[in-house]
Structure 1
Amino acid sequence: MEKKVRTMISLYMIISGIVILLMMIFGLLMLLEQGKMISIGQDVFYKVMTAHGTFMVGVAAFAASAIMWYFLRQYVNLSFPVFVSHFILFLIGALITFISIFTFDFAGAWTFLYPLPAMSAGMWGKAGACLYLLGMLIIGIGFLLFYLDSARAIIQKYGSLGNGLGWPQILGKAKGYGPPPAVVASTMVSIVNIISLTAGAIVLVMSLINLFQPSIKIDPLLAKNLIYAFGHMFANSVIYMGVIAVYEILPKYTNRPWKSYKIFLIAWNMSTFFTIIIYPHIC
């Protein structure tokens, strides 16, 4: 089993590294175009921009989820089949999304703001928009399964997500330290991303319905808020998943345990709350 885990983690990291390198090249192309050092054309620029924004955040979260899973499994009983399913769904969704951009010319940016997917002024067709939205939905389902399984495992071990965030220690109902930092951070990320991915799934499904049945409309402000609630919370979670590695590796080098003091637990609870409510600042 341990060999399978190491193989899976390696695949996550190899694929993430390759995609990040490619997205860095895409970013360089855009900078060179903006600096008038090369000319790739407006159509290509917006396709590259769409791919860069979509995959850079997506693959960073993909790699960070592997970090979170690797360390969290030392404290709770995570599902390996779910971890593999997350990997497969990400690859399928990413491939569909890539095809939608570079074969069917979708160039509406990662925000896919309603009603842009269905009203492209001739830049892309219904097939391109459909494939992009579908690809994003498949990727989101994979991530949602991952975080639901993480939340399940934490609840199974600690009794509730509140306990995973150290509420008994904060409220003085339990003495001593809270759960391990990796568990606290994973609890926060699971809460935030279950909310964000649910919001994203709702607006993606609504946009797909509108694409094929234009008479069924969406309130543009509601759609925008759902998209940014999804995108901003999800992007922020990459940092919180990545810091788990610091919590786990640094104590091994310093020979000093990283314990969940009350102030540490309060800070993570505040991070949970503020990450959920602060998303409108980019709207």
Structure 2
Amino acid sequence: MDKILEYMLEEDEGFGDVTSNSVIDELDEVNAYIVSKDEGILAGINVAKELFESRKVRVLFHLSDGCEIKKGDLLMFIHGNARDILLVERTALNLLMRMSGVASAANKYVNLVNGDVIIAGTRKTQPAIGKYDKMALKIGGADTHRFSLDDMLLIKDNHIAVVGSPLDALKKAQKNASFSKKIEIEVETLEDAIACVENKADIVMLDNMDYGKVSDVLDELEKRGIRQNSLIEISGGINEDNIGDYIGLGVDIISIGGLTHSSRSLDFSLKIDK
């Protein structure tokens, strides 16, 4: 089992589940089920299965990641030692609820854009469980963007602050990075966007630009005949109310940090059925 999952269980168990060990006989076996008290997209069911099976609890039935769920739906049915089930319960539910919340938020935005633009997450994930946040994004239909710092080059404002200018940073990256790594650069002005596209950055991110500024950049790229040089990503200030405006501009990617740092967890519950 993943070491992160092992740590989650160890952290919750401490020196032992004193409640269950005090009131439940050691050999008691029960049936139990996880039920949804919410609606959205299910994500993390295989992770929950792995957690229960690590304690030799049998998973007799479960729905599939990516399916739509509603209040009252049976998500998983299990059988095993009562103490073991209750030991795993909170860890499994916490991760399952969070992942389903991230997947549901991602799916909502994916449906809003209807395939006209890529919806992507960011690295604004929960510490230590970023891989599960990314897994949830993918289940919800969004692009994961970078998993870690070694996936691709993403030159951000602090890199530029050290180097001096976006164009200088881009040229250094193109000189020093492996051919196998894409280079993305974050810009905040029309002039920097034009310069980086002219110099063929793989992706140019228009950071925190409003509708008017994004429109100006794209218009200027078309006028100069260089729009095809780079993918154009926008990030910052995009929400359910204004995302439709940006789709019509012709951007390629919309990245939304809120999918992982602010999504509401769905509400699930585990019940014993002795």
Larger Rg: 2
The normalised TM-score by structure 1 is 0.26
The structure with the largest helix share of the pair is 1
Q: Higher relative contact order by CA 8 Å / sep ≥ 6: 1 or 2? A: 2
The structure with the largest strand share of the pair is 2
